């Protein structure tokens, strides 16, 4: 535990690096079932996420606990940039920088989940005061960790205006978008989705789905997810191997550990005969079907259109589970717009300590490309849908 100084009189921040060291008032402040409850935090700690450590801030105002925040600290390494997808000199420069400077990224939020809240404040507190407490927690964690930058991921909507107005060093990241689809109550099967599509999109749907029915799709239980964790992880790695930047990587234990502690996480295996060639996972909540991690064999993807079929399978399951909202996540905006998803713009902020680097990144943020946002013009549904 560390007691950090602060610039606001009466406010104190206690920092912890282990959920088992959290004081009783931590769980007393946080409602039951919340992600920040210590037993939930322990699950994340036990997932053996590579290059990641944890920090927890409990903020007091005049000795009364008022805010709790969870952080992840990522040790940035050369492997987080894909050397096969960048110019060689850029990779060498990144390799030298990470080897010498050993930079660390402090993440307020959860790098690998968007369905949980990593900040909780007591009731009856104004938005500005919540911002003040939260900023004190971030500053304390930054000082303690000696992080080079902080990423505030999925910030509570009511706080973004304060960071925009009072924290000029923090930049809101452009094009941080969640692609989502409203599922009409009238849809009973995936056929209803197909009938709602315009002609060319329906043709494309049928073409992609032609060979999907040759595969065997099985929901995996806790024992099966644990048994096949290495195969699932290898398929996940095939996806990350095609990403230019990987801000953090999962461990083989991550999905099995989550599945073991929360059966709302569903996992399906995609089999060609007896061979596992892909998987799909999703959180099934009361009003939402939320796609999680996927993995697939890229050679088999050419044969079976696995990626797009996984997306269509997500729609099919959202309909089957009778969920009014489908969330397909942040990546592949154009592909998901073709399916009928619409954007929900998110509030994610980045602060970089180094002023020169921060200035260059801010300049890059202001650059736009000719076709940026063109995917928003895709309207695959008939007008009466």
Domain ranges of the chain: 2-172, 177-344
**Rounded distance between C-alpha atoms, residue 275 and residue 125, angstroms:** 55
Contacts of 192 (CB under 8 A, 6+ apart): 184, 186, 319
177-344 maps to which CATH number?
Answer: 3.40.630.30
Band (343; pLDDT cuts 50, 70, 90): very high
**Rounded distance between C-alpha atoms, residue 200 and residue 211, angstroms:** 19
pLDDT at 125 over 90: yes
What is the percentage of the chain residues whose pLDDT exceeds 90? 85
Reported as type and span, the H/E element at residue 179 is: strand 177-182
Instruction: Kindly give the interhelix angle for 254-261 and 229-240, rounded to the nearest 10 degrees.
Output: 120
Cβ neighbours around 335 below 10 Å, total? 16
pLDDT of residue 377: 79
Q: Which residues pair with 119 in a beta bridge?
A: 69
Band (46; pLDDT cuts 50, 70, 90): very high
| Alpha helix stretches (DSSP H) within 55-159 | 88-101, 127-145
Band (385; pLDDT cuts 50, 70, 90): low
Global pTM value: 0.91
**Could you give the maximum distance between any two Cα atoms of the chain, in Å?**
66
Task: Give per-residue pLDDT as tens, 50-69.
Answer: 999 999 999 999 999 999 99
CATH topology of domain 2-172: Aminopeptidase (3.40.630)
**Rounded distance between C-alpha atoms, residue 66 and residue 289, angstroms:** 32
Do 2-172 and 177-344 come out as alike in CATH topology?
yes
Query: Contact at 8 Å (CB) between 111 and 76?
Result: no
First-last CA distance in the chain: 55
């Amino acid at each position: 535990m560390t007691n950090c100084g602060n610039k606001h009189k009466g406010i104190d921040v206690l920092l912890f690096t282990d959920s088992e060291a959290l004081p009783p008032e931590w769980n007393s402040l946080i409602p039951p079932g919340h992600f920040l409850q210590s037993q939930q935090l322990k699950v994340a700690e036990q997932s053996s996420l590579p290059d990641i450590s944890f920090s927890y801030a409990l903020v007091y105002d005049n000795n009364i606990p008022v805010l709790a925040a969870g952080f992840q600290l990522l040790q940035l390494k050369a492997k987080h940039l894909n050397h096969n997808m960048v110019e060689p000199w850029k990779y060498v420069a990144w390799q030298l920088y990470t080897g010498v400077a050993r930079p660390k990224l402090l993440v307020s939020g959860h790098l690998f989940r968007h369905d949980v809240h990593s900040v909780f404040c007591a009731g009856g507190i104004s938005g500005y005061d919540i911002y003040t407490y939260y900023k004190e927690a971030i500053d304390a964690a930054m000082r303690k960790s000696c992080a080079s930058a902080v990423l505030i991921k999925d910030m509570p909507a009511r706080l973004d205006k304060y960071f925009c107005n009072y924290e000029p060093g923090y930049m809101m990241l452009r094009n941080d978008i969640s692609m989502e689809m409203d599922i009409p109550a009238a849809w009973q099967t995936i056929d209803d989705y197909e009938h709602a599509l315009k002609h060319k999109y329906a043709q494309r749907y049928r073409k992609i789905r032609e060979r999907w029915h040759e595969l065997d799709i099985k929901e995996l239980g806790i024992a099966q997810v644990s048994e096949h964790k290495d195969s699932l992880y290898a398929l996940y790695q095939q996806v990350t191997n095609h990403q230019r930047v990987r801000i953090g990587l999962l461990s083989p234990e991550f999905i099995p550990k989550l599945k073991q502690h929360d059966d709302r996480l569903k996992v399906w295996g995609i089999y060609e005969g007896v061979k596992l060639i892909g998987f799909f996972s999703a959180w099934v909540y009361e009003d939402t079907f939320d796609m999680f991690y996927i993995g697939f064999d890229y050679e088999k993807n050419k044969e079976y259109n696995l990626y797009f079929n996984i997306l269509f399978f997500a729609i099919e399951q959202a309909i089957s589970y009778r969920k009014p909202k489908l969330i397909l996540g942040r990546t592949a905006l154009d592909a998901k717009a073709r399916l009928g998803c619409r954007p929900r713009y998110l509030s994610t902020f980045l602060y970089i300590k180094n002023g020169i680097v921060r200035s260059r990144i801010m300049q890059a943020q202001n650059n736009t490309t000719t076709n940026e946002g063109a995917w928003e013009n895709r309207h695959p549904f008939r007008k009466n849908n």
